[in-house]
Amino acid sequence: MRPRQWLKNGFVVAPAVFAGHAFDPPALLRVGAAAGLFCLASSAVYLVNDVMDREADRCDPVKRYRPIAAGELSVHVALVAAVLLASAAVALGTTLGRGVLTALGIYLGLNLTYSLGGKLVVVLEAMLLATGFVVRLAAGALAIDAEISHWLLICGFLLALLLAFGKRVPEVSHPTSRTPRYPAAFLTEAVTLLAGVTLVAYVLYTVAPDTQAKIHSRALLITAPVVLFGILRYLFLLTREGSQDPTAALLADRPLLVTVVVWTVLAGVIVAQAGGHP
């Protein structure tokens, strides 16, 4: 069920960092529990997706090793497991409140739409994936009853859209019947555009009057160079021969992984010290 992809559910924790709860154990416990629920839900999603894509995956040099495509896991067992995992996520979600439960439901609905055919519609498929990340952000805020900045939602959506299009770059050389058909030139332009827009949006977020008023500090701007380095490093990995999907790049590239950790700690300390709640 692709445990390494569970890193994406770290988006659920982001609102706690920017609400000044980066070092608040009770709040971290709640967002951690919410992230765990999204791991269950995303596992169900991956199983359904791999069932739908099993024939196409067998023709892919990398995806053919997925358990269902390789015949190591039966379709019946996979679907039963998907239902159980999704049901467990929803049942446990009731303990975190109606807001988190609603977010889980929307996330499952979005990804079901994606797996059943939305992934074949160019651009729409990337927007569906990016919206799933925004839902994760909302779930994290709802888990701790924190107000979430519209800037954070915008930055999260743009970053997720960048990663979604970046994910398609390695697929251009070996498309299948279950992958959207993008011209390589379009992906290059889209990734370049989104990289710039994401950085600009983040900088605007850090200097926005409402952000500075809420955290009573302008120090958040010093995290912008860290974000710039992370985006440029990701673009470098994406254009380098053999580049893999975003999660694989993060896990395999130490500078990029360190960048994410540094940004998380730095932003958490700044907001916590300022006592703000953006």
Dihedral of the CA atoms 117, 36, 263, 153 (nearest 10)? 50
Q: How confident is the model at residue 131 (pLDDT cuts 50, 70, 90)?
A: very high
State the pLDDT at residue 276.
45
Percent over 70 (pLDDT), the chain:
96
State the pLDDT at residue 275.
57
Residue type, 39: C
The tens digit of pLDDT for each residue in 164-210 reads 999 898 888 777 888 899 999 999 999 999 999 999 999 999 999 88
Whether the predicted pLDDT of 247 surpasses 90 = no
CB under 8 Å, gap of 24 or more: what pairs does 118-125 form? 119/178, 119/179, 119/180, 120/178, 120/180, 121/180, 122/180, 122/181, 122/182, 125/164, 125/180
Of these ranges, 86-100, 140-154, 171-185, 230-244, the one predicted with the greatest mean pLDDT is 86-100
More confident position, 103 or 152: 103
State the pLDDT at residue 241.
55
Tell me how far apart the alpha carbons of residues 127 and 111 are, in angstroms, rounded to a whole number. 11
Q: What is the mean pLDDT of the chain?
A: 90
CB hemisphere CA count around 244 (13 angstroms): 11
Task: Report H helices in 144-278.
Answer: 150-168, 184-207, 209-215, 224-239, 246-252, 254-274
Q: How far is CA 148 from CA 124, 141, 248, in A?
A: 25, 6, 29
Nearest to 12 by CA among 107, 125, 119: 107
Contacts of 125 (CB under 8 A, 6+ apart): 114, 118, 119, 164, 180
Q: How confident is the model at residue 83 (pLDDT cuts 50, 70, 90)?
A: very high
Q: How confident is the model at residue 53 (pLDDT cuts 50, 70, 90)?
A: very high
State the pLDDT at residue 277.
45
Structural tokens at position 278: 């953006």
Whether the predicted pLDDT of 94 surpasses 90 = yes
